Structure 1
């Protein structure tokens, strides 16, 4: 299963209309229909019940929608990480980087136990006391609400900034006692990427 297919599926599942989903994705509706039919065939389940007047998620489709949203969110976060790692790989003296995928609540434990050299954490949600950090990205929080018009969201949703919520800052964190040159190099590159 490809990330592209998950994006297609989520668009149709949120719009519950192939034409609107195709417009949202910027692709032709027949290509979207073929891609999702192929996905259903490979998975061996029906994700969407189609009729001439409506599209409805099946139970399998509802389950995939929840997982697909999480996967796509992780993929977007991975784009920031990929940018940092690409910049580091081009840096003289860079060494190979092995990624350790884990649940968000496990990152600090892996770092503190020495099983990871650096971690991506998110302030104010993750505790960084006792760690050294380098801020990579700060974003305001939003709430997604029903609305009559929106950009890059389902047509009936809009992202509204939550002005009294603290911003979320993604940081690269490491143990202050680290004397690793590769970690220092990665932090330097990340600070400028």
Structure 2
């Protein structure tokens, strides 16, 4: 078996991404001739051609495409291992928790208070991230544990569902639908969410008929009012989202705990009968043997079970592995 070095993989990945030896050499801050020699040496070592070179272009071979995919994984794993080792070697290590602000079911203060009494507890360092940033922080070694909505990719991770709670729809008080005591997703046709997706397609794939490209979904409902023409950022904080809701530009599906903590005079919250609930789970690296992580998971599940007994949210088992999270 070939004993590859991290440096060789880094050289190859850079060339494969640039498909140009000159640009790759500049990225690596080295001269082009030694980079070319390093790639040839790697090909001889592996016994395969990774790159097809002509005077006009550089192309990946089938073997090169496979190595590029796996080499990126290796480099990411090495970088994550370095970060974890450096963190563990600090004189004052802590437990780094990645989560989106307010997405804790209202339980985090109680979890932290109970966790402090655990023998294996470490000081908790909160890493507040945006939507979809919990897993990269965890896999990249910047966080030790993450609190995030399911479903998500559990490859290489252990996970424990923590709580499930209903989601509501947040509407402007001037919205005609605000007068109704309850709604269904079909009532929200023509409305959009803060990320630009059609509200009535929540929980459904955005392809084909009814998807993001379907003109029927872009047409406003008769009672929706004129949409605002200003472009919206794709990632927003709560203050921005609430402002757009009050203006009638978007609607939103916050979990019930967020709605309780953020009453606003210009916004009403209404139940939506067929809106899937939000399930939050803890995730951590599968190979972890940290007593501090084990104690945090045990504490969090105990607190959640006491606060949200099963009868309070009679939903089915959470699917932890498919697609993207909801928040």
TM-score for the superposition, normalised by structure 2: 0.33
> In the alignment, what sits opposite 2:78?
75
Matches within 5 A, 1:63-142: 63-87=66-90, 123=99, 134-135=124-125
* Counterpart-to-counterpart distance in 2, 1:6 and 1:65: 8
* Counterpart-to-counterpart distance in 2, 1:6 and 1:75: 11
Deviations along 1:141-161, one digit per CA (max 9) or x if unpaired, are: 799xxxxxxxxxxxxxxxxx9
Tell me if the contact between 2:97 and 2:124 (Cα under 8 Å) persists in the aligned partners.
Answer: no
Tell me if the contact between 2:51 and 2:60 (Cα under 8 Å) persists in the aligned partners.
Answer: yes
> In the alignment, what sits opposite 2:235?
163
Tell me if the contact between 2:9 and 2:75 (Cα under 8 Å) persists in the aligned partners.
Answer: yes
> In the alignment, what sits opposite 1:156?
none
Higher helix share: 1
1:39 Cα offset (Å): 1.0
Which of these two proteins has the greater Rg computed from alpha carbons? Answer: 2
After TM superposition, what 4+ stretches of structure 1 lie above 6 angstroms from structure 2? Answer: none
CA RMSD of aligned residues (A): 4.1
Deviations along 1:59-78, one digit per CA (max 9) or x if unpaired, are: 00001111111112222222
> In the alignment, what sits opposite 1:104?
none
* Counterpart-to-counterpart distance in 1, 2:294 and 2:96: 9
* Counterpart-to-counterpart distance in 2, 1:20 and 1:141: 33
> In the alignment, what sits opposite 2:277?
none
**Structure 1 pair 5–141 and aligned structure 2 pair: CA distance change class (3 A):** farther
* Counterpart-to-counterpart distance in 1, 2:13 and 2:131: 22
> In the alignment, what sits opposite 1:175?
295
> In the alignment, what sits opposite 1:13?
16
Q: How many residues align?
A: 129
DSSP 3-state at the match of 1:76: helix
Deviations along 1:16-35, one digit per CA (max 9) or x if unpaired, are: 00000000111111111111
* Counterpart-to-counterpart distance in 2, 1:18 and 1:165: 41
1:174 Cα offset (Å): 2.6
> In the alignment, what sits opposite 1:4?
7
**Structure 1 pair 120–64 and aligned structure 2 pair: CA distance change class (3 A):** farther
Query: Which ranges of structure 2 fall in alignment gaps of 5 or more residues?
Result: 116-122, 134-232, 239-282, 285-291, 300-327
**Structure 1 pair 65–138 and aligned structure 2 pair: CA distance change class (3 A):** farther
1:164 Cα offset (Å): 3.4
1:3 Cα offset (Å): 1.4
Tell me if the contact between 1:121 and 1:173 (Cα under 8 Å) persists in the aligned partners.
Answer: no
Query: Which ranges of structure 1 fall in alignment gaps of 5 or more residues?
Result: 92-118, 144-160, 179-193
Structure of higher RCO (CA pairs closer than 8 Å, 6+ residues apart): 2
Deviations along 1:82-132, one digit per CA (max 9) or x if unpaired, are: 2123325xx8xxxxxxxxxxxxxxxxxxxxxxxxxxx987546xx9x9895
